[in-house]
């Protein structure tokens, strides 16, 4: 009933506005209202264009000074990360320069060649030289970026199997991640969502008869040894997800019904990244905010917020449902010795089943 009354009120408001507009139009009908811009109008608009140009440049400078740190162009933790950062930096510089030049020309020409009584506009029906210039230059620039980008992508995706990378499956489902290590044989066992058996704790649908599946290890935390290549095989149980590891400059879609892959070599341990000035400052800022919020919570009789500690994260970068925002898994990059000690503590698939 409340919804119906709200709709009726809104309809009456719209009708009232419509009637007021009609009355206003009738009142203005007898007044002279020329639609032709005068020299005064054109001069005003010309100066407004230059003012807006100044506004654009001022806002750009403020943004660069205040937020131009761009931490995700400086703290990559994978072997291919600096190449990605370099490609991004080149793209940003080109975009920035083109934006400065084109916006200046657009607004300055609108001011310089504003309409004036008695002046006839000079124009060219066509100009082959100009058209060649503004066609060839963008083609060369874009071709360079595309070729560089493709070469970078090919180098990243061309995982060299002779380097004996660690094979890890990333299994996505609403709204969590599981990691499956290939075990001592470094070969993942066969799996299918139709084989999932919750009663037997076969949560990823591994083929229990497959010998390669027996030593697989399923975890809810991703541990990686520093300096060792890792090849990720990705599956999705339900909808389209995207495995995104920002500090490793890695992202790949997880598609139901097929296996995708991505590989990289971690170069910075979690502890080393925690000691970098950028991360120390970030952690301190977050904890200062949490302390302020905790004071208000404690005053209400609620528990204080826990202190934040930096960790690498695996995130979902596709909107996959209501809890998409919280779909993440911690990644720990550690020394080979620490990784070996951790992997020995994990249960193999054959020992994790409930009979």
Query: Given a cut of 80, is residue 280 above it in pLDDT?
Result: yes
Query: Given a cut of 60, is residue 33 above it in pLDDT?
Result: no
Section 30-41 average pLDDT: 69
Cα distances (angstroms) measured from residue 352 to each of 192, 216, 348: 18, 10, 6
| Mean pLDDT, the chain, whole residue set | 87
| CB contact set of 307 (below 8 Å; sequence gap of 6+) | 287, 290
User: Taking a C-beta distance cutoff of 8 angstroms, is the pair 206, 190 a contact?
Assistant: yes
- Phi, then psi, of 291 in degrees rounded to 5: -65, -45
For 282-339, give the DSSP string: HHHHHHHHHHHHHHHHHHTTPPPPPPP---EEEEE-S--STTGGG-EEEEEEE-HHHH
Return the DSSP state at 73. G
Over the range 202-234, which residues count as b (16 or more CB within 10 Å of their CB) and which as e?
bebbbebeeebbbbbbbbeebbbbbeebbbbbb
Measuring CA to CA, which residue among 201, 242, 233 is closest to residue 351? 201
Tens-digit pLDDT profile for residues 57-96? 898 888 878 876 665 577 889 999 999 988 888 888 898 8
Q: Would you state the pLDDT for residue 315?
A: 94
Query: Given a cut of 70, is residue 29 above it in pLDDT?
Result: no
User: Taking a C-beta distance cutoff of 8 angstroms, is the pair 216, 189 a contact?
Assistant: yes
| CB contact set of 349 (below 8 Å; sequence gap of 6+) | 183, 189, 206, 213, 214, 215, 216, 217, 218
Tens-digit pLDDT profile for residues 220-267? 999 999 999 999 999 999 999 999 999 999 999 999 989 999 999 999
Segment (H or E) for 67: helix 39-67
Q: What is the dihedral of CA 47, 50, 54, 55, to 10 degrees?
A: 70
Cα distances (angstroms) measured from residue 271 to each of 77, 88, 310, 314, 339: 12, 27, 9, 17, 14
Q: Helix, strand or coil for residue 245?
A: strand
Query: Given a cut of 60, is residue 30 above it in pLDDT?
Result: no
Window from 42-51, 159-168, 174-183, 218-227 with minimum mean pLDDT: 159-168
Percent of the chain with pLDDT over 90: 38
Token pair for 136: 């060839």
User: Taking a C-beta distance cutoff of 8 angstroms, is the pair 145, 91 a contact?
Assistant: yes
């Amino acid at each position: 009933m409340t919804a119906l009354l709200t709709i009726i009120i809104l309809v009456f408001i719209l009708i009232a506005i419509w009637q007021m507009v009609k009355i206003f139009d009738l009142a203005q009908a007898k007044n002279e209202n020329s639609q032709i811009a005068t020299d005064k109008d054109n001069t005003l608009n010309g100066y407004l264009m230059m003012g807006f140009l100044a506004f654009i440049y001022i806002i750009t400078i403020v943004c660069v000074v205040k937020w131009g740190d761009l931490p995700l162009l400086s703290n990559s933790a994978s072997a291919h990360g600096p190449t990605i950062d370099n490609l991004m930096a080149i793209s940003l510089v080109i975009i920035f320069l083109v934006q400065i030049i084109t916006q200046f020309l657009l607004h300055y020409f609108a001011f310089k060649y504003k309409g004036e009584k008695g002046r006839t506009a000079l124009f060219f029906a066509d100009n082959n030289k100009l058209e060649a210039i503004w066609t060839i230059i963008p083609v060369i620039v874009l071709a360079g970026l595309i070729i560089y980008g493709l070469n970078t992508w090919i180098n990243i995706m061309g995982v060299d199997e002779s380097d004996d990378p660690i094979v890890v499956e990333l299994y996505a489902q609403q709204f969590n991640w599981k990691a499956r290590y290939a075990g001592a044989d470094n070969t993942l066992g066969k799996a299918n969502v139709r084989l999932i058996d919750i009663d037997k704790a076969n949560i990823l649908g591994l083929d229990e008869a497959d010998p390669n599946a027996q030593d697989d290890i399923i975890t809810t935390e991703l541990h990686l040894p520093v300096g060792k290549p890792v090849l990720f095989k990705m599956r999705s149980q339900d909808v389209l997800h995207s495995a995104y590891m920002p500090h490793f400059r890695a992202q790949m879609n997880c598609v139901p019904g097929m296996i995708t892959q991505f590989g990289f070599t971690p170069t910075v341990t979690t502890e080393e990244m925690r000691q970098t000035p950028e991360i120390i400052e970030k952690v301190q800022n977050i904890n200062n905010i949490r302390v302020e919020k905790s004071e208000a919570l404690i005053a209400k009789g609620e528990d204080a917020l826990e202190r934040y500690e930096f960790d690498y994260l695996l995130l979902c970068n596709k909107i996959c449902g209501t809890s998409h925002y919280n779909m993440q898994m911690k990644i720990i990059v550690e020394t080979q010795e620490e990784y070996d000690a951790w992997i020995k503590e994990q249960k193999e698939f054959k020992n994790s089943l409930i009979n």
